[in-house]
Amino acid sequence: MRGIREDSPATEAYEAALERWKRADDVWQGVTWTLARDPETPDSVPLNEGGTVRAYTSEGARSIDMPTLTVLYQFDNEYITIREALFADAKAPFAGRA
């Protein structure tokens, strides 16, 4: 498992999201947990040739006031560094899968 670091733009976006959505911390914790365990998760998109810079999105749900979160991150053998975080209103009205 790798450690998580955040660049200041990601931290600022997270702090602003905490003030806007009740479940912003839940989505943040879920994303960081997922990436710390598998930075090359199949749901992520590689953005460089080596695959060490990636984007990952966790869809939120309006019914539970959880935003959608997209992060741009980089990883090495020790750390995941979240470079940018974008929180947005969820498109889905409800949580779960049909």
3-state secondary structure at position 49: coil
User: How far from each other are the two terminal CA atoms of the chain, in whole angstroms?
Assistant: 31
Range 53-79 average pLDDT: 96
Helix, strand, coil % in the chain, rounded to nearest 5: 30, 35, 35
Confidence of residue 45 (pLDDT cuts 50, 70, 90): very high
Predicted model pTM: 0.91
Q: Is the pLDDT of residue 93 over 80?
A: no
Which residue type occupies 64? Answer: I
Sequence-distant (6+) residues with CB within 8 A of 2 are 35, 36, 39, 75, 77, 78, 79, 80
pLDDT of residue 47: 97
Mean model confidence pLDDT for the chain: 94
Q: Under CATH, which architecture does the 3-88 domain have?
A: 2-Layer Sandwich (3.30)
For residue 35, the model assigns a pLDDT of: 97
Instruction: Please state, in angstroms and rounded to a whole number, the distance separating the CA atoms of residues 22 and 15.
Output: 12
CA 10 to chain centre: 10
pLDDT at position 96 over 70:
no
